[in-house]
């Protein structure tokens, strides 16, 4: 095995683009596996990481290899790993302190991976971990959607939305979503039943008495979500601001807990006014939940949607496409 690998590296926040360069292959901890990465997907959190937008929650040492999820093949295992073996085809989402999937190799804790769905290519599998875990944790773990409930999933044609719609339908919910006119038939094919063209319609004028909202937009759209949720309903956001409760659960220092309480005072007021609950979701890695998603995919109850696949050396073009915010599904890097 070589001692060096090619990886996409930044040396400072707000760097215009990462540099693909030779760096040492990571060393294994006892509970790690070493993966030869076959494909990795791009996610908005990669742009936030590069811009320094996560610094209130995470501080990274530089230089930093970026990339948040992947698929690949195990080439070495740590001394305490028993559930996987060399040669296994796997996929995963590393914990936020150990990102780095835009590279030829990645060391990752064995608890954060699962066997790749057998009916997916490596490129298709790489499109699943981050959006799959985010959707599953929002809809299943937090909202606990069940048959007969109504949920709004914002931006239904995006990377999160395309999988979240399918999962919500699988859980038995009635799904509304926002999208552009060009994607109406597409999101309907995924299972959305009420579709709002955000260019010409406002969801807050059309929806009422919903059980839940899965917000991927934040800002004004998040605030409007409180107007459509019935008393006792819930809102989960991945794009809103972390609140005091999240800061406490995440173990942030008290001064940050107080700060987040101040900056989210409007959301706290809206919760009280509408008798609803707001959750900020900062997705956590879980090999067990990835295994659950793999079973659903193999049963053809979920399918990843890929907009475009780029070779690794075209990472800059892939990031430019991601920045447009108009991809239908996921953007994937191929490292084979």
What CATH number does residue 122 fall under? Answer: 3.90.180.10
Q: Are residues 43 and 117 in the same domain?
A: yes
Distance CA 229, CA 58 (A): 32
Are 180 and 261 in a shared domain? Answer: yes
Same domain, 98 and 237: no
Determine, yes or no, domain membership for 292. Answer: no
For 272-289, the pLDDT digits (tens) are 999 999 999 999 999 999
Please write the tens of the pLDDT for every residue from 172-190: 999 999 999 999 999 999 9
pLDDT surpassing 90 at residue 89: yes
**Domain check: are 96 and 216 in the same one?**
no
Question: What residues make up the domain containing 100?
Answer: 4-128+304-334
The pLDDT of 84-93, averaged and rounded, is: 98
Q: Is the pLDDT of residue 220 over 90?
A: yes
Q: Which of 234, 264, 280 is the last residue of a domain?
A: 280
Q: Are residues 72 and 52 in the same domain?
A: yes
200 and 262 co-located in one domain: yes
**How far, rounded to the nearest angstrom, does the alpha carbon of residue 155 sit from its chain's CA centroid?**
14
Asked if residue 288 is part of any domain, the answer here is: no
**Cβ(240)–Cβ(222) under 8 Å?**
yes
Answer yes or no: is pLDDT of 300 > 90: yes
Q: pLDDT, tens digit, for every residue of 116-154?
A: 999 999 999 999 999 999 999 999 999 999 999 999 999
Total domains in the chain come to 2
- Check: CB of residue 214 under 8 Å from CB of residue 139: yes
236-271 pLDDT, tens digit each: 999 998 999 998 998 989 999 999 899 899 999 999
Give 319's pLDDT tier (boundaries 50, 70, 90).
very high
The 10s digit of each residue's pLDDT in 192-206 is 999 999 999 999 999
Judge if 101 and 232 occupy the same domain.
no
Does residue 265 sit in the same domain as residue 317? no
List strands edge to edge, sheet with 4-10. 19-24, 4-10, 64-65
Report CA 105 to chain centroid distance, whole Å.
21
Asked if the model's pLDDT at residue 56 lies above 90, the reply is no
Task: Look at residue 13 in the predicted model and tell me its pLDDT.
Answer: 96
- Same domain for 120 and 155? no
CATH number for 191: 3.40.50.720
Kindly indicate the confidence band of residue 2, based on its pLDDT and cuts at 50, 70 and 90.
Answer: confident
């Amino acid at each position: 095995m070589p001692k060096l690998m090619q990886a996409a590296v930044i040396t400072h926040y707000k760097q215009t683009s990462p540099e693909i360069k030779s760096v040492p292959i990571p060393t294994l901890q006892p509970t790690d596996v070493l993966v030869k990465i076959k494909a990795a997907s791009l996610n908005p959190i990669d742009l936030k990481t590069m811009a320094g937008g996560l610094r209130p929650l995470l501080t990274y040492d530089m230089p930093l290899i970026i990339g948040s999820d992947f698929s690949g093949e195990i080439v070495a295992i740590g001394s305490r790993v028993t559930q996987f073996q060399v040669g296994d085809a796997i996929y995963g989402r590393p914990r936020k302190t150990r990102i780095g999937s835009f590279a030829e190799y990645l060391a990752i804790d064995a608890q954060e991976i699962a066997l790749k769905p057998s009916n997916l290519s490596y490129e298709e599998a790489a499109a699943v971990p981050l959006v799959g875990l985010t959707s599953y944790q929002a809809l299943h773990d937090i909202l606990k959607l069940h048959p007969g409930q109504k949920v709004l999933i914002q931006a239904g044609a995006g990377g999160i939305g395309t999988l979240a719609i399918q999962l919500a339908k699988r859980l038995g919910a009635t799904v509304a979503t926002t999208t552009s006119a060009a994607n109406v038939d597409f999101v309907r094919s995924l299972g959305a039943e009420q579709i709002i063209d955000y260019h010409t319609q406002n969801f807050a004028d059309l929806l009422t008495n919903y059980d839940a909202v899965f917000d991927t937009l934040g800002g004004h759209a998040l605030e409007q979500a409180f107007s459509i949720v019935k008393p006792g309903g819930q809102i989960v956001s991945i794009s809103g601001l972390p609140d005091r409760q999240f800061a406490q659960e995440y173990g942030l220092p008290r001064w940050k807990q107080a700060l987040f309480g101040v900056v989210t005072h409007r959301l706290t007021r809206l919760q009280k006014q509408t008798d609803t609950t707001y959750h900020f979701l900062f997705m956590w890695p879980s090999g067990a939940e990835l295994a659950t998603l793999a079973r659903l995919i193999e049963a053809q109850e979920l399918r990843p949607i890929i907009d475009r696949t780029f070779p690794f050396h075209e990472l800059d073009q892939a990031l430019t496409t991601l920045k447009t915010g108009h991809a239908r599904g996921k953007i994937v890097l191929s490292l084979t």
